[in-house]
Structure 1
Amino acid sequence: MFRSLSFLRLWTGNTASGLATWALPFILGLAVLERSLSAVDLGIVLAARTAGFLVAVPVAGVLADRHSRRQVVLWAGLVAGLATPLIATGMGRSVLVTAAAAAVVGIGQGACRPAFQALTAEVIAEDRRQQANAAMTLAVRVTTLVAPGLTALLSQVASTPVLVIGTGVLWLGAALIPPRGTFTPAPAAGRARFFGEFADGLREARRHPWFLAGLGALTAVVATGYSATGVVLPLVSRDRYDTEAVLAAGLTAYTVGALAGAVVIARRRPKRQGWAALIGLGCYGFAPLSLLFPVHPAFVVAAYAVAGLGIELFNVPWFTATQREVEPGKLARVSSLDFLFSYGLAPAGLALIAPAIDRFGATPVLAACAVVCFAAPAAAALVPSSRDFRATAPIKSV
């Protein structure tokens, strides 16, 4: 794959955007430690970035189907890159300026997601897309594994504002590096209005029952299992095991498991890719399940590794199937629905899980989340076309 200059440019640009997206919250966390931001300010800034993301994703889906996907990536990266220094300028001076700049960065982040997804389908031949998607998700996982230590090391020689500006440089790289695609947008005279085009994307999504079923399952897992474990794992690590090591080990195991999953799925193609992917997604249920009982910490770490493995066994075939099955002229709009629901409901889940735990206790909430994580992918698998993530599944007795 990396012998192709087009893929190498695509991979580098996508990795730069992923690194910039991941790094900003961690760097702003350092600002809290340095007292240039308060914890409340940090919450406001990150909420503003999320709001910008959610607003931009559906708009960008339409724009990336109206215009060149490469141009949408360019402008999204430039918007995020040029707004990032304002975050550094506002830190410790004006939370309003910092939050407003973060919202603009979120707009750039949200705008580039569906455009990158569609651009991948243009640049990479169909028979190599699974490998390409695996390589790109592998880069993201390696980043999350090594970047905390690297950022902490850089913080010894560079100030927090400089590190923030560094994420802006990454966004500029994401804007300028990717290659041109082959997509030719429809003539402007034949286009519907914005909401009409967005509705066309919804109709295209409904044409693929496997997509709706898989997206429902993914959204359920993210909104429950991901959110619950994000809230409860730190508490369990502190209160049950009396050490932060379980928290660190669990998160590291999740990333290592995801790395392993990306490597496996790059090399293997299960006979029933859809069912195999949904089984992988269901593996996330082991994470909340492991927090239910006073088991040895090794079981918690192992459960998180299995969850990470499973999520990549789902993600890569899911992205590949979407790129293959969806009409090319509507791919960005359909991809925007994917990011809007799966990414967008994560903060909503986090916001609801904590009050639920306060009201009902951690045990029933974790049990309910584990049931949802196992049941939602199983229900999605009952949709006939989910077997292979294809619009028309072959009729064959099982």
Structure 2
Amino acid sequence: MATTPLHGTTTGTAETGPPPARSVLRDTAFLRLWAGTTASGLATWALPFVLGLAVLHRELGAAALGLVLAARTAGFLAAVAVGGVLADRHSRRAVVLWSALAAAVAAPLLALGLGRSLILMTLAAALAGAGQGACRPAFQALTAETVAADRRQQANAAMTMAVRTSTLAGPTLTALLAAFVDAGTLLLGIGLLWLVAALLPGRPAAPRPAEASPAPAGPVAPAPAPRASLRAEFVDGIREARRHPWFLAGLGALTAVIALGYSATGVALPLVSRDRYGTEWVLAAAMTAYTVGALGGALVTARRRPRSEGWSALAGLALYGFAPLSLMLPVHPAVVIAAYVVAGIGIELFNVPWFTATQREVAPDKLARVSSLDFLLSYGLAPLGLALMAPAIGVFGVTPVLAVCAGACFLVPAAAALVPTARHFGRAPGPRAD
């Protein structure tokens, strides 16, 4: 969740406003960026799946799989903050290029180490995670550079639809390929996806707003100011985030839902599917329903313009609480599946406005750093939540843990909605500066 995470103006009281005059899907620059982002998302998703296939084929042990995935997560967390600073300091396109190339190089190293060297695989996984982490905030900021403000919600919806479609179709495609090629070859295929992510996106047609105006000419050019350290520039990004109370509140709500709600259902759903219903199909159906719901939510947000976009988004985020709630009760499996559809819809009702509002409200020269803070907290705490959830269930039982996590999913977004500026994720509806 993780894998894995917006609006224009309206008039009157209607929930929807007029669509953009020109579809973002007709923009060649965006389509190239969309294809590159999709390739990176598919490669990110595919790596743990392919490594899982290697375990099934006895090319990798279960303990070794845990070590390799942990190294990838560590690489991601170490690089996401640095990547945000570099994407604000240098060309976002260049950061995408070099970070994706790093992940592409890691893929054949993983294939080389498979069944031969766990040390090589661990180091390669850390490099892959670093490439993934560094490119995430750069892609987010590059979207704001490539797409005009009035079409960013549509662009972000298209991005998330591509990710969800990959999640839905990816397992079937990978399983089919695995019938003909081994895990090492699939790892090389992941490297090719990263090459697409590195090379396909083009440069934005216009410079960043902060770079658009040259320094005034004078008789003596002033000496350039010394470059601040990476740490100082990241702290500057934190200051920018603190200027937006809605962002801090929304990030806190998102982190709580991922670390508690998503982690609880990730551990409890397989147990409930096995122990209560006696079959694995409930697990598979619920996860598929969640992805289908997310696709539907992305379609809705591509055109939907609620007047109180922040409240609407936070209400969507709170809908995830129905997933752990359905696992608490002895209900028909159809109720569990319906709850996961609702949770999937809700997560995209939040994600798309959240990304768009961040691109709109945050200072353009600090956007990548603020985005990296988003990924660092929301995704960084997810492994901790997963690590603690199983022991908590062992001590307190499934139902009490799910009850606490469902309550957090409902209450924390509601509390975030009370924060000033949360109603509109920034300024009130009306003409907005890019």
Same fold by TM-score, threshold 0.5 exceeded?
yes
1:361 alignment counterpart = 397
User: What's the Cα RMSD here?
Assistant: 1.3
- Contact 1:191/1:197 (8 A) holds in 2: no
2:274 pairs with 1:238: yes
- Contact 2:210/2:364 (8 A) holds in 1: no
1:98 alignment counterpart = 121
2:281 pairs with 1:256: no
- Contact 1:68/1:184 (8 A) holds in 2: no
| TM-superposed deviation, 1:38 | 0.8
Cα separation, partners in 2 of 1:185 and 1:389, compared to 1, 3 Å: closer
Identity over the aligned pairs, expressed in percent?
A: 70
Cα separation, partners in 2 of 1:99 and 1:184, compared to 1, 3 Å: farther
2:42 alignment counterpart = 19
Please give the alpha-carbon distance, in whole angstroms, between the structure 2 residues aligned to 1:2 and 1:275. 28
| TM-superposed deviation, 1:291 | 0.4
| TM-superposed deviation, 1:393 | 8.0
Please give the alpha-carbon distance, in whole angstroms, between the structure 2 residues aligned to 1:328 and 1:184. 7
| TM-superposed deviation, 1:99 | 1.1
2:191 alignment counterpart = 168
2:70 alignment counterpart = 47
1:65 alignment counterpart = 88
Please give the alpha-carbon distance, in whole angstroms, between the structure 1 residues aligned to 2:231 and 2:74. 20
Gaps of 5+ in 1: none
Please give the alpha-carbon distance, in whole angstroms, between the structure 2 residues aligned to 1:309 and 1:341. 22
Please give the alpha-carbon distance, in whole angstroms, between the structure 1 residues aligned to 2:324 and 2:209. 46
Please give the alpha-carbon distance, in whole angstroms, between the structure 2 residues aligned to 1:159 and 1:341. 36
Counterpart selection for 1:183 from 208, 212, 220? 208
What one-letter code is carried by the residue in structure 2 that aligns with 1:31?
Answer: A
Whichever of the two has the greater Rg, that structure is 2
What one-letter code is carried by the residue in structure 1 that aligns with 2:286?
Answer: G
* SS of equivalent to 1:24: helix
Please give the alpha-carbon distance, in whole angstroms, between the structure 1 residues aligned to 2:234 and 2:165. 35
2:60 alignment counterpart = 37
* Number of aligned residue pairs: 394
| TM-superposed deviation, 1:183 | 2.6
| TM-superposed deviation, 1:384 | 2.2
1:311 alignment counterpart = 347
Please give the alpha-carbon distance, in whole angstroms, between the structure 1 residues aligned to 2:83 and 2:31. 24
Per-residue CA deviation, residues 152-203 of structure 1 (Å, 9 max, x unaligned), is 0011111110001100110011000111123377796353222111111010
* SS of equivalent to 2:25: coil
Q: Which is richer in helix? A: 1
| TM-superposed deviation, 1:270 | 1.0
Per-residue CA deviation, residues 194-236 of structure 1 (Å, 9 max, x unaligned), is 2111111010000000000000000000000000000000000
Please give the alpha-carbon distance, in whole angstroms, between the structure 2 residues aligned to 1:247 and 1:126. 40
Please give the alpha-carbon distance, in whole angstroms, between the structure 2 residues aligned to 1:83 and 1:288. 37
Summarize the alignment of residues 298-377 of structure 1 with structure 2, pairs less than 5 Å apart.
298-377=334-413
Gaps of 5+ in 2: 1-23, 216-223
1:83 alignment counterpart = 106
Counterpart selection for 2:141 from 105, 110, 118? 118
Please give the alpha-carbon distance, in whole angstroms, between the structure 2 residues aligned to 1:65 and 1:117. 11
TM-score (norm 1): 0.97
Please give the alpha-carbon distance, in whole angstroms, between the structure 2 residues aligned to 1:380 and 1:393. 19
